[in-house]
Amino acid sequence: ATYPAAAAKSTTCVRCDGIDGGTEVGYENYPMEVFIPFALAENFPTQGGGALRNLLSLWGPGLFPGADLSNTSINLDFKWWDGRERAFFGSVNRHALIATLGGPQIAGQDAPVDPSRFNISNFTCGHSSGGQAENDGFPRSGSSSTACGAPSSADTAHPSDNAESVGDGSQAGDSIQSSTPIAWWRFRMRPDNEPPIGNPPNFVHSGRGLVGVVLSSTSTATTGVGDVTRLWHKDPCEVSQSGFTWGPPHVRDAATLSVMLNSGQVAGDPIALFNVWSFDNQAEICEGSLPVFPPGFTIEDNL
């Protein structure tokens, strides 16, 4: 399965022709923070046989198609939450990720993102401590990660962990939920402090963003047993979960932003160049209170 990291929708960007070898065409920025909304733990046993693996393909395209990526690495902070919403942290620094989320490494791929923790053998039942993840759902009899024994006491902070021994008979079709090792993930790109050539004031990032997919499958299946999930992010001009990035605006927002900004701005400029600014400047752009460039500034003045 492939997902080309092609450029998003284009827009007119007058000032882009003086930046990093671009032309007067700009493109929507990819987000600097993306999420995987659902993933079963690595090596989860499937009904069709074989252990489930989650292959992540994550890339950081440049500000413009064919842009000079002098430093091709992307620095990522990742965070994932287990079935009881406990968080786990880590970081990676690579050109791109073609790797499983956890479990043992597969030949020809990058090292797994979190091999020891996001692995079904390292999920635990009931309450855990330290670096072990917990399962989701009602614990049932047994001791393995897919058949959990009941916890010693109820956890009122996490309703999925309760001390009931039977389902709710008042609800048709109700049953005790099985205990399943799941998680959702977040990847955040750190600003690389490598502004593009023709650097106007306040440019703090090359403009690169993140795009990719996750393919869940097994080595024994002839077809995938999971879904190909495109990574998702917050809406335009919404602060993402980390609190350190904004959802980049789309082409459809260009007219609104150009009206909100000073009258001398071209509609597409804040769309195409959004990722190069600092977090605070992006907030001002979204609020319509910051000119895209200081009055009187031109690209030629800074070359």
SS (H, E, C) 129-196: CCCCEECECCCCCCCECCECCCCCCCCCCCCCCCCCCCCCCCCCCCCCCCCECEEEEEEEECCCCCCC
Go through the chain and tell me how many residues it has.
303
Going residue by residue through the chain, which has 303 residues, state the pLDDT in tens, using 9 for 90 and above: 556 666 678 888 888 888 877 788 889 999 999 999 889 999 988 777 788 899 998 988 888 887 777 777 889 999 999 887 889 999 999 888 899 999 999 998 899 999 989 998 888 876 666 678 888 766 655 555 556 665 556 666 656 655 555 655 555 555 566 678 889 999 999 998 888 877 566 788 989 999 888 888 887 765 555 556 777 888 899 999 899 999 999 888 877 776 555 545 556 888 888 999 889 888 888 887 665 565 555 544 444
Q: Tokens 């992006």 — which residue?
A: 282
pTM of the model: 0.84
pLDDT digits (tens, 9 = 90+) for 219-229: 776 555 555 67
Q: How far apart are CA 97 and CA 111, in angstroms?
A: 9
User: Measuring CA to CA, which residue among 2, 64, 68 is closest to residue 30?
Assistant: 64
Q: How far apart are CA 61 and CA 29, in angstroms?
A: 9
Over pLDDT 70: what percentage of the chain? 68
Q: Is 19 exposed, middle or buried (0-12, 13-18, 19+ CB in 10 A)?
A: buried
Amino acid identity at 175 = S
For the record, the structure tokens of 52 come out as: 């489930």
In angstroms, what CA-CA distances link 28 with 57, 209, 243, 258?
20, 10, 21, 15
